[in-house]
Amino acid sequence: MKVAPRMDYANRIAKLTTLLNANDCPAIAFVPGPNFFYLTGVDLALMERPTILLVTAGGDIHAVIPALERDRWAAEMPAAQTIYWQDSDGYADALAELARQVGITNLAVEGNRMRQFEAAALSAAFGTAVTDGTAILAPLRLLKEPGEIEAIQHAVDISEAALTATLDTVRAGMSETEIRAKLQIEMLERGADGAGFDLIVLAGGAAADCHGVPSSTRILKPGDALLFDFGAKVNGYSADITRTFFCETVPEAHRRLYETVEQANRVGREMVAPGVAIHDLDHAVQSVLRDAGFAENIRHKVGHGLGLDIHEAPQLMVGNHDTLEAGMVITIEPGLYDPEVIGVRIEDDVLVTRTGARSLTTLPRGIQVIGG
C-alpha cells in the first residue's frame, strides 16, 4: 500500500507568514495548484468556479469554496474560516464576505497562477487593485522537507523501474506513441498516480525537438536515437528524467555528440554543492558542450528546480547569481540537438545536501543500445 509522507502544513503556513511580514504584505490569495496544495494538502481542480485560499500575515486561513467541494474541504481543513457558495447564487457575495472578514485593502495574489477573472473578482470585492505576489512566494518551496524528498525519490524509483521494463520490449518498427503507452502503463502498474507531465518519446531526427510531441506515424528504425523525457507523479510530486538510447547500433557520427553530453552531465552533477553559484554551474556545463565544438547545438539552460511543479525555482541558467542551498532538488540536463538528425539529452534529479549532492536518479548514463 502506498502511504503519503507526512507533511508539516502548520510549519508551511508559518513560513508563508514570515515571507508576508518581511514584505509588508497583509495577505495573499491562491487558487488551486501547487502552492494551494503545498499549504493545505488538498488537491482541488482549477475550474470555472472561483476557489480561493487566503492567508494573512497573522497566519489566519480563509477560503471561498464552491459548495460541491464542501465535504472534502470541511473534512481536511476544519480550522479554515470558510465561505461556501452555490452555483445558483454566484460567487460575488462570497468574495465580498471574505473581504469583510479579512478587513484589508491591500491584497496580493499568486500572479503566475491566478487567472484574470479571479483577480478581477477579488479586486472588485476588496475595493482595490490586487498586486502580484510571485516574488514574495519565490522562496516558499525552494528548500524541500524530508517528506517531499521521500515523495520525489519514490516517483524516481517508479519511473526508473518502468523505463527499464519498457526498454525490454522496444524494437525497431514500433511507433513513438506505442512506446509511450507502454511506459505509461508500466508506471501506473508500479503505483504512480499518473504521469507528472506529457511524456516525451521521440525517435530519430524528431529527438532534436526539445519538447516534441510523440507521433503514431514516426517509426523507430535501426540507428535511430530514442529519447525519453518522462516522470511518474506520486502524492503530488514528480520525477523528471531524460535518457537517450540507440536502436540496434550507434552511428559513429553520433557517438561523440552523445559522449560530450554525458561528460557535461557528469561535470554538472559533480559540481553541485551548497554555496555554488548557479551562474557558474550553468557556465561550466555549457562550456563542455561549447569546447567540444557544439555551440550551435545548444538549445537550453542546464536545469531547474523540481517539486510540485516540474519546472520551479531555482532556474539553473547563466545570469542567476543565487547560490545552491542544501534541500534544493534540481535537474542537471545538458543536451545537444542537430535539427532533423538527432537530439541527445541526459537528465538527472539531484538533491543538494549539506556536504555536496546526491543523485536521486541512478539509471545508467553511458551509451546504451536497445532493441537488438
Q: Which residues constitute the domain of residue 250?
A: 146-370
In a domain, 23, yes or no: yes
pLDDT in tens, 161-198: 999 999 999 999 999 999 999 999 999 999 999 999 99
pLDDT tops 90 at residue 318: yes
**Domain final position from 137, 157, 181:** 137
Which stretches does DSSP call E strand in 112-224? 131-132, 194-195, 200-203
The answer to whether residues 361 and 322 belong to one domain is yes
pLDDT in tens, 24-56: 999 999 999 999 999 999 999 999 999 999 999
pLDDT in tens, 134-167: 999 999 999 999 999 999 999 999 999 999 999 9
- What number is the average pLDDT over the span 284-299? 97
Residue 242 CA, distance from chain mean position:
14
Residue 160: what pLDDT? 98
- φ and ψ at residue 287, rounded to 5 degrees: -65, -35
pLDDT in tens, 321-346: 999 999 999 999 999 999 999 999 99
Residue 4: what pLDDT? 60
The answer to whether residues 205 and 101 belong to one domain is no
pLDDT in tens, 356-372: 999 999 999 999 999 87
In a domain, 150, yes or no: yes
The answer to whether residues 326 and 345 belong to one domain is yes
The answer to whether residues 131 and 173 belong to one domain is no
In a domain, 4, yes or no: no
Residue 123: what pLDDT? 96
The answer to whether residues 120 and 258 belong to one domain is no
* Structural contact between residues 268 and 261, judged by C-beta atoms closer than 8 angstroms: no
pLDDT tops 50 at residue 1: no
The answer to whether residues 77 and 49 belong to one domain is yes
Residue 268: what pLDDT? 98
The answer to whether residues 205 and 351 belong to one domain is yes
pLDDT tops 50 at residue 80: yes
List the one residue out of 116, 173, 110 whose CA is nearest residue 140: 110
Residue 345: what pLDDT? 98
In a domain, 281, yes or no: yes
**Domain final position from 97, 112, 137:** 137
Number of domains in the chain: 2
- What number is the average pLDDT over the span 254-260? 97
- β-bridge pairing 335-338 and 342-345: antiparallel
CATH code at position 120: 3.40.350.10
The answer to whether residues 176 and 304 belong to one domain is yes
The answer to whether residues 27 and 158 belong to one domain is no
* Structural contact between residues 154 and 234, judged by C-beta atoms closer than 8 angstroms: yes
Separation of alpha carbons 167 and 365, rounded Å: 15
**CA angle, residues 219, 310, 44, in degrees to nearest 5:** 110
The answer to whether residues 229 and 343 belong to one domain is yes
Residue 193: what pLDDT? 97
CATH code at position 254: 3.90.230.10
In a domain, 283, yes or no: yes
In a domain, 55, yes or no: yes
Share of the chain above pLDDT 70, in %: 98
In a domain, 1, yes or no: no
In a domain, 3, yes or no: no
**Domain final position from 137, 166, 199:** 137
The answer to whether residues 198 and 295 belong to one domain is yes
Taken in order 15, 17, 18, 19, is the CA torsion positive or negative? positive
The answer to whether residues 253 and 291 belong to one domain is yes
